[in-house]
Structure 1
Amino acid sequence: MSQLLREHAESQFADELAALQKADTRERPTNWALSPWAVVTYLMGGTLDNGFAVSAKYIGNRRLMETAVSTLATDRALLLFGVPGTAKSWVSEHLAAAISGDSTMLIQGTAGTSEEQLRYGWNYAQLLSKGPSKDALVPSPLMRAMEQGKTARVEELTRIPADVQDTLITILSEKSLPIPELGMETQAVRGFNVIATANNRDKGINELSSALKRRFNTVVLPTPATEEEEVAIVTKRVGEMGRALQLPGEPPALKEVRRVVQIFRELRNGQTEDGKTKLKASSGTLSTAEAISVINSGMALAGHFGDGVLRARDIAASLVGAIVKDPVQDAVVWREYQETVMKERGDWKDLYRACREFE
């Protein structure tokens, strides 16, 4: 087992990518490691003609993934948009891994992201001693992707200041990056494209200019449509992460996963799953990713401080922490949910009592 805490997608799923490459006979765009069909198969999972099973990386609408991959096969950049926790970064990483065999050409967007981080910087020791030169230039991941015909990733695009965002306009429209200090430019090699992510909770922070929006095709990743779909996602990811983190104890019982998912969905939607009881909505996102975190934390508690079997008491502490983000508003929402929903469900008494211990 690798000593790395988290391997890049192209390393973690190298056997699947190799099997797909070997079986893939369809046309591939220039500098793509796989055909668009094989990229979607890698994301959605399936069984190849030789019987090799490819695991699903994304559980959801296949057409969304087909649209995303088709976009990247053109000269349009891709913007993955949605609420936090809808697997935007996860999908972005796996798309880059399948298309370019390299998901590491990444720029993490923050309020402090500068234009140099998107374009290029300088080795100031060489710059001072020899002046501007190609040797003194420090290319950004975006510039390296242009030179190598690979996929670059920009995470949390709307977190980047608007004037810095607009650095992308020339790159996406002209497929070139001017370097005025050297009187030259870097032109993108075939295969180059950009995947950006943004979440709708950041809407209004740093709005994309209309000129930049036009350079992207937007694919909205929704929250899981059904409880069964969300349970399947959480179960799969918890199993993968449990093995990667070497958590002791047994895999979580489906009952516990289903309860956490149901609580999150009901508080997220403002009503019980049967629609009979209206609820106050939580201020947090209560995303699928947070549900995975709650179960993983519970598994760690059960494994290290219990008998290895995940029970209600192991889940309760992380569950309260995930839901009560605002100590005033969310505390009221959570207490009401416990008293009107959890307490009334006969097989939830253990979870109700465990959660009350943390008040």
Structure 2
Amino acid sequence: MTQAIDQTTLLRPHAEQEYAEELQALDRQDDRPRPPSWKLSPWATVTYLLGGVLPGGTVISPKYVGPRRLIEVAVATLATDRALLLLGVPGTAKTWVSEHLSAAVSGSSTLLVQGTSGTAEESIRYGWNYARLLAEGPTAGALVPSPVMTAMQEGRIARVEELTRIPADVQDALITILSEKTLPIPELATEVQAAKGFNVIATANDRDRGVNDLSSALRRRFNTVVLPLPATEEEEIDIVTRRVEQLGASLELPPVPAAAEEIRRVVSVFRELRSGATADGRTKLKSPSGTLSTAEAISVITSGLALSAHFGDGVLRASDIAAGILGSVIKDPVADAVVWNEYLEAVVRERKDWADFYRACREAT
């Protein structure tokens, strides 16, 4: 007998587990047309991603902070026969958006293929239970369906992470699936035809261009939505703050009341080094080799919270985040170290209210 999972013991619940109450509230009040097999209408799916207040006062928390039109285009794509490709630099919430879209549309985000250089065709098509294959020969019972095959059979969303990391010949296994909506099984002289509601969400990294570029035939099967970095500093601070609060609660870190100042500082550093100029535009800067994404800013703050809670006085200080920033900025120990030192001396040192941060970074360096 399958035992119920106590979600409070899970380090990282799936989206459909963590936000089950919100999904149920949307389902109850969602009176708009739903495409076949969809758990929510496109309108409710967008509301789930971007947040809002339902009639009756139920608050739907925002899962993604960014242009509404991008999410509307992504959701509308899933309601057509075209697959969705989420493209962007590392840390722009591609995986996060993919997971929540799947949870809202299919009620499950777990039909996942993780793309790597070693991903085999079986991960996209199907494999075999070799013990049964040897004993029985090719039979339906010996066949092991891939997440994509399962999604086709059940009319759900399949996710393919880091598509451009997958070898080109394996990528092309998706062409027939996406164009014909069928998966041939020649060993059994049969095929799997996709049920209504089936679609694919793939993610790809801007930094991986040239690794395993998509063929033109495969690219035509996708509608591409580019997820940008946060447009403003305030928007990025809001994203970091929300996510840090969620992670802190999940990791059972004590609340840190004075985190706002350090979050703003980390976001400011990351944005200036990313853009190659200070916020006021007066000083040109060299950019490091890393992406300095919002996700990395979240990691720096979360690590700082752990240091503050377990080895400090419970107040997040510059010394708690200095080492984390150093690790994020300096990926190349030679070139990035030069970039960081120049930034410390030309920018950080000159800001009078950043004296504690300058000292902490110098000590960490």
Q: TM-score, normalised by structure 2?
A: 0.98
Instruction: Pick closer, same or farther for the CA change 1:139–1:44 going to 2, 3 Å.
Output: same
Instruction: Indicate conservation of the 8 Å contact 2:83/2:221, yes or no.
Output: yes
The residue number in structure 2 matching 1:222 is: 228
The residue number in structure 2 matching 1:164 is: 170
The residue number in structure 2 matching 1:33 is: 39
Is there any run of 5+ residues in structure 2 with no aligned partner, and where? 1-6
- Partners of 1:199 and 1:168 lie apart in 2 by 18
* 1:183 CA drift (Å): 0.3
Residue 353 of structure 2 corresponds to residue 344 of structure 1? no
The residue number in structure 1 matching 2:152 is: 146
Query: Secondary structure at the residue paired with 2:9?
Result: coil
- Partners of 1:167 and 1:243 lie apart in 2 by 41
- Partners of 1:283 and 1:65 lie apart in 2 by 29
Residue 238 of structure 2 corresponds to residue 236 of structure 1? no
Amino acid corresponding to residue 219 of structure 1 in structure 2:
V
Which residue among 327, 330, 341 is the counterpart of 1:335? 341
Instruction: Indicate conservation of the 8 Å contact 1:252/1:299, yes or no.
Output: no
- Partners of 2:142 and 2:17 lie apart in 1 by 31
The residue number in structure 2 matching 1:180 is: 186
- Partners of 1:225 and 1:274 lie apart in 2 by 16
* 1:253 CA drift (Å): 2.3
Which residue among 99, 115, 123 is the counterpart of 1:117? 123
- Partners of 2:143 and 2:255 lie apart in 1 by 51
The residue number in structure 1 matching 2:79 is: 73
Amino acid corresponding to residue 118 of structure 1 in structure 2:
I
Which residue among 89, 110, 125 is the counterpart of 1:104? 110
Give per-residue Cα distances to partners, 1:245-281, cap 9 Å, x unaligned.
1012424521110000000000001000111100001
Query: Secondary structure at the residue paired with 1:259?
Result: helix
* 1:180 CA drift (Å): 0.3
Amino acid corresponding to residue 114 of structure 2 in structure 1:
Q
- Partners of 2:238 and 2:257 lie apart in 1 by 14
Instruction: Indicate conservation of the 8 Å contact 1:249/1:302, yes or no.
Output: no
Give per-residue Cα distances to partners, 1:266-321, cap 9 Å, x unaligned.
00010001111000011000000000000000000000001111000001111101
The residue number in structure 2 matching 1:53 is: 59
Is there any run of 5+ residues in structure 1 with no aligned partner, and where? none
Which residue among 38, 60, 82 is the counterpart of 2:88? 82
- Partners of 1:159 and 1:251 lie apart in 2 by 41
- Partners of 1:109 and 1:249 lie apart in 2 by 36
Residue 318 of structure 2 corresponds to residue 318 of structure 1? no
The residue number in structure 2 matching 1:190 is: 196
- Partners of 1:149 and 1:251 lie apart in 2 by 46
Give per-residue Cα distances to partners, 1:121-146, cap 9 Å, x unaligned.
00011100010000000000000000
- Partners of 1:2 and 1:251 lie apart in 2 by 24
Provide the alpha-carbon RMSD of the alignment.
0.7
- Partners of 2:83 and 2:98 lie apart in 1 by 12
Give per-residue Cα distances to partners, 1:74-131, cap 9 Å, x unaligned.
0000000010000000000000000000000000000000001110000011100010
Moved over 3 A (4+): none
Residue 273 of structure 2 corresponds to residue 267 of structure 1? yes
Instruction: Indicate conservation of the 8 Å contact 1:248/1:304, yes or no.
Output: no
- Partners of 1:253 and 1:286 lie apart in 2 by 20
The residue number in structure 1 matching 2:8 is: 2
Identity, % of aligned positions: 69
- Partners of 1:78 and 1:275 lie apart in 2 by 37
Instruction: Indicate conservation of the 8 Å contact 1:249/1:307, yes or no.
Output: no
- Partners of 1:304 and 1:249 lie apart in 2 by 12
Give per-residue Cα distances to partners, 1:20-42, cap 9 Å, x unaligned.
00000000000000000000000
- Partners of 2:199 and 2:285 lie apart in 1 by 44
Query: Secondary structure at the residue paired with 2:8?
Result: coil
- Partners of 2:83 and 2:24 lie apart in 1 by 26
Which residue among 199, 209, 212 is the counterpart of 1:206? 212
Give per-residue Cα distances to partners, 1:311-337, cap 9 Å, x unaligned.
000011111011111000000000000
Instruction: Indicate conservation of the 8 Å contact 1:111/1:159, yes or no.
Output: yes
- Partners of 1:239 and 1:84 lie apart in 2 by 21
- Partners of 1:178 and 1:188 lie apart in 2 by 11
Instruction: Pick closer, same or farther for the CA change 1:324–1:36 going to 2, 3 Å.
Output: same
- Partners of 1:311 and 1:138 lie apart in 2 by 52
Amino acid corresponding to residue 142 of structure 2 in structure 1:
A
